[in-house]
Chain A
Amino acid sequence: MKPVFWSRLDTTARRLTPFGLTVLLVLINVLPLQMPGFARVMPLLPLMSIYLWAVHHPNLMPAYAVFLIGLLQDTLTGTPLGVNVMAYLIVYGTVVWQRRFLVGKSFAVIWVGFSLVGAGAMVITWLLISSYHSVLASPDAMAFQYLLSLGVFPLLSWLFMRWQQAFLSHL
């Protein structure tokens, strides 16, 4: 009885790590790093995380988890509630829908996939924000944010790969 209970608890804890890691990335994303100009172009860590888990383990990152992550992101960053939720859900939906083109492919393909999906997410966010406030938001910071995100993607991807091998390989 007991060993079963513990192994179940262990499995549940492991299954929750993708969500937990993404929430952590949302928090890291809003830390006051006090680097000149960095706050405006902070790479989109939660978006990368959602993309990567949707490609590798969509069963560990269900849609409602994506919803909650987007909601937390919106509440903390002060963007209108629902904007990041929408962007993340669309990224998640697109990736899960087109997953057969990405799963098991080389890293370069996954990277290119992120560059497309990320650009889509940025455009959606920009459109939503601009229509919500009925002004055109300035796109320059957004472009830098996107490029920086593309640059950071391999690092995060590698970290998640190691995490997957270490903790989630038998799930």
Chain B
Amino acid sequence: MITAAVAPDTSVNGVALTIVIVLFLGVTVIGFMASRWRRAATMDSLDEWGLGGRGFGNWVTWFLIGGDIYTAYTFIAVPAAMFATGAVTGFFAVPYTIVLYPIIFIFMSRLWSVSHRHGYVTPADFVGGRYGSKSLSLAVAGTGILATMPYIALQLVGIQAVLEVMGIGGTGNIIQKDLPLFLAFAVLAAYTYSSGLRAPALIAFVKDILIYLVIFVAVVYLPAKVGGWDSIFSAAEAKMTATNEVTGVAQGSFIPGPGQYMPYWTLALGSAMALFMYPHSITAVLSTKNRNVIRRNASLLPAYSLLLGLLALLGFVAIAAGTMPIALDGTVNPQLAIPQLFEDFFPAWFAGIAFAAIAIGALVPAAIMSIAAANLFTRNIYRDFIRPEATPKQEAKVSKLASLVVKVGALVFVLFLDRTLALNFQLLGGIWILQTFPAIVFGLYTRWFHRWALLAGWAVGMTYGTWTAYNVLNPVTGKHFGGAVAELPIFGGRVYIALTAFVINLVIAAVLTVVLRAMKAPEGVDRTEPSDFLADAGDPRVSDLPPLTGDEAAGSTDRRTGRPRER
């Protein structure tokens, strides 16, 4: 169905919808069948949700970590930002994913080693063991859960965009209007609740293959259809330099001007530092089979960055193609730009495949994120603070409920925050999660920082970050949390709030450390030793990690011989 790009097409795209449903059911069946093939002793233990055998080599890890980047972030949010406001809000994702790998190269192998020596499964475990501080570990766990919510929200927006372009949803009351969103939520919730991590982990392979197929076709076929890159870039330049009637300033940025250098690089650096603080990313890294897999991967993973860059440019392709991302209620929603572009230019059957790829590509990470956050709750909050003597069955139950709560939290973000630029969800999560960076990453190298100082720095960073982000108003809609870039105090210039909050956090932690040391405040017991940070698989004291929660014995039948991977 090729539609003229003038009026919104409100009819249901039958062919595309059928293909989406068929593919969706297909991968679900594959997922469940495959999990039966490697059946666990019991589904009542959360070992099934553990670290997936901890035997992942280069190839699997490549997919695994790639999955952290290839979410609705990549193919909905970033192109939408490019479509709406151009380079500074969108293309920073390219330097972000370039500097990401050297950063993880530097510290992730140390985290791997110390975790495998002591059986740490979550970042909060490590912080608790390193600093002997339960409150610091609680702060890290709580932040992980909170920051995951807007990231899941972004995935929900992605699924919603696809459903809406296919013509599902409508106008009228709030339930009808947000029907695609509630549908997305219901599918995600049912999916995670019933299958745990098994099905999504296996489906992730199918998901990646579908996505590569769609990306390759899209970046090869579409630019030629709209007149080549020359005309794409001139169309984008014309749109970005035009004046926006509402704000009275330029619509966006085509090439950043001097005032935009700071936002651009701070957004890139802040996002890169934040990504591997998320619970689901750390779990993925810890599930590799030895400490160097992650480094080896850091040199292979940039292939993803290239595709991400080309996908971002699809936002400009949509500008050149004159795509009209009009929602069913008649408002303009840039999130619909890419699905709408696909619907306009692809035959219905291929649009269906593309939609399915996007929807599954959002669903799988969302499921994995919500499970990771739920595990964090069960392991570091429920078991540490509420019921230390809980049985594996109770823990499994709590985890399932917690994963539901996390998703409801995500839904709240979508409903009450400004949705016109979904990228802001991820950037908001980044503001929060980055405040755990000093405790985790600096803790890998030094015990110099005092645990109470780190806690104080964290508290101030969180407060400053949240307050400042709240006060950013969207220039068009006037809503709070309208962006993630704000004025830098004292020095001036506009920067990504996460990075400002991080620096404040660090300064406070350092100053208070000096003070607390002078006062001889108790430092807490450090259960690690220097050699722990260099340990590798096969060392005498290195062992597989315990399951995230639950009884070690239950369901641990084939821990060594590859069970389904974790994500």
The judgment on whether A and B are partners is no
Interface residues of B (CB under 8 A from A): none
Interface residues of A (CB under 8 A from B): none
